[in-house]
A and B are shown apart, each in its own frame.
Chain A
Amino acid sequence: MAKVDVGKKILSENDRVAAKNRETFDDAGVLVLNFISSPGSGKTTLLETTLDRLPQDLRVLVIEGDVSTTRDLDRVKAHGATGVQINTGGGCHLSAKMVAEVLPELDVEHADIIFIENVGNLICPSTYDLGEDGKVVLLATTEGDDKPMKYPTIFYESRLAILNKIDLLPYLDYDVEKVQREVEVLNADCELLQVSARSGEGIDDWISWITTRLEEKRS
């Protein structure tokens, strides 16, 4: 009987590939945001609104992660984005390797921003670094207001939380302040923006959050 010291992070191989992706993104000076949410929180709608509202001279690429369809990619293409689809074939998250494999199909060199729409759930994608500048977690007022404490990892990992569908607040029993406080407890550096992708409320703040991050990235 012998003990062999391993002392290795299980995701060390993913992290190695993510670091290579990050190098590619940094060299190109492109801002990469990885969107994570439950299904139905309005990720694709927010992406469509965002594409419409971002300054027109910015070149935006979208990497759509989905279990099996290209429906979301078709939607964002209609709003002027170029992109690729990654079908995970049942997988519940994107990995750094899946992203690395589609990079040659994208003109990363000449892009300003890449949005990665991860597979819809709050657990699995949160552990996988893809090489992004930041994870953005999206919540909707139509989900329970206990999400942050239920899925803490994604909130420690995220740079920004977005509460979508605030136009529905008058009709819902949703405690925004509680959510705000839970996000703060989990990650004091994670801001919470309140938006409605449908009515456009709060979208200006979101657009300026993105453009500020882009300026930071380039400076």
Chain B
Amino acid sequence: MHELSICQSMLEIVDRTMAEHPGAKLLRIFLDVGKGSTIEPVLLSEAFDVITTDGPYEETKLVVNEIPLAGRCRSCGSTFEYQEVALGCPKCESVDIEITSGLELAIRELEIDENGAGDPPGGDAE
């Protein structure tokens, strides 16, 4: 359960970014989370809710873009999504495989309301 410490690290970056936009209200945080990043999006959202209660981000929404775990076979060049019981390349059974995506854990962008300090997010924020 390291989602709480991931949230803390995330909020440090968010705080620094928001400091460059005084008076703005943070509406949404867009994250890229790879399926192989060891992060459980549901636990991350719960941790975020707990950690932002009663603070400036109380109404901020976390939007997680889950990125599938994908690989490429170095022998035959075919690309595929990782299956739970993958025992090699589905085409040629080679084990010489490289992960091409799915390890991401990053803040992509923030959606802010530049003159919205104190106001709840508008209808179009959803």
Least distance between B2 CB and chain A CB atoms (Å): 4
Q: Are A185 and B38 in contact (CB under 8 A)?
A: no
A12 with B13, Cβ < 8 A, contacts A3-B109, A185-B86 known = yes
Q: Are A188 and B96 in contact (CB under 8 A)?
A: yes
Give the distance in Å from the alpha carbon of A6 to the alpha carbon of B19 in the complex: 13
Give the distance in Å from the alpha carbon of A182 to the alpha carbon of B111 in the complex: 41
Give the distance in Å from the alpha carbon of A185 to the alpha carbon of B5 in the complex: 30
Contacts of B24 in A (CB 8 A): 2
A152 with B107, Cβ < 8 A, contacts A2-B112, A182-B87 known = no
B27 at the interface (CB under 8 A from A): yes
Q: Are B2 and A127 in contact (CB under 8 A)?
A: yes
A4 with B37, Cβ < 8 A, contacts A92-B2, A95-B5, A149-B85 known = no
Q: Are B17 and A1 in contact (CB under 8 A)?
A: no
B106 at the interface (CB under 8 A from A): yes
A14 at the interface (CB under 8 A from B): yes
Least distance between B36 CB and chain A CB atoms (Å): 5
Question: Which residues of B93-112 have CB atoms within 8 Å of chain A's CB atoms?
Answer: 95-97, 99, 103, 105-112
Give the distance in Å from the alpha carbon of A5 to the alpha carbon of B88 in the complex: 38
B114 at the interface (CB under 8 A from A): yes
Select which of A3, A8, A123 is within 8 A of B38 by beta carbon. A123
Q: What are 24 contact pairs spanning A and B, CB under 8 A? A: A1-B125, A3-B110, A4-B21, A6-B110, A8-B13, A10-B9, A10-B10, A10-B13, A10-B105, A11-B105, A12-B13, A91-B2, A93-B5, A95-B5, A126-B38, A127-B37, A152-B69, A153-B36, A156-B103, A181-B87, A185-B86, A185-B87, A185-B88, A188-B97
A-B pairs, top 3 by smallest CB distance, nearest first, are A124-B2, A184-B95, A6-B107
